[in-house]
Amino acid sequence: MQPQTATISVEIPVLETDRLILREPRKSDWDAVRAFGMSDRTRYVGGPFSEWQVWSTLVSPIGHWVIRGYGLWTVEEKTTGRIAGRIGVINHIDWPEPELGWHIYDGFEGKGLAFEGAMAARNHAHGVMGLGPLISQIHPENARSRRLAERMGAVIESESTVRDTPCLIYRHPAGVAA
């Protein structure tokens, strides 16, 4: 008797903005994901992480796309092909609802790339996926992420905790932004 096998496939849409390509996670993203994951830049999202934990953060977004039908995109800078971060919608088993989240890697902050990518992801989530209005769970001390959420029109809805870490729940406006 032959063992049965199953094929799992997922279609991850590719989003393009003026300066960015939001695409599926790839093994070739490893160096950029590892550098971010093992750095102090992850202090507001539970890090820095060990190498095996970083590996999990590379592969788990693929499973999230399979299970939920949405997830994190890898953010690629169009002109250079360099990996600038990850942006997308996540809803882990212990999340209250779908969250618009972003990680911008070292050297890419301060250029408006997070805003550009997060707006594209949010518009796609609202318009194509039918999700929203989304939340963003942001550590109270993460001033950059708080400013980004506010620039996007999100407002503090409540205070909470995520995995024993305090966070502010920002609520994004409903609908697709122009």
Torsion-angle region of residue 130: left (phi > 0), alpha (psi -120 to 50) or beta? left
pLDDT of 177 over the 90 cut: no
Rounded to 10 deg, the angle between the 30-37 and 51-68 helix axes is 120
* pTM to 2 decimal places: 0.91
- Predicted confidence at residue 164, as pLDDT, reads 86
Tokens of residue 16, six digits? 């393009």
Amino acid in position 86 = R
Closest to 88 (Cα-Cα) out of 129, 33, 30: 129
CA distance 105 to 87: 11
- Domains, the chain, ordered by start: 15-132 (3.40.630.30)
Highest mean pLDDT, choosing among 72-76, 105-109, 158-162: 72-76
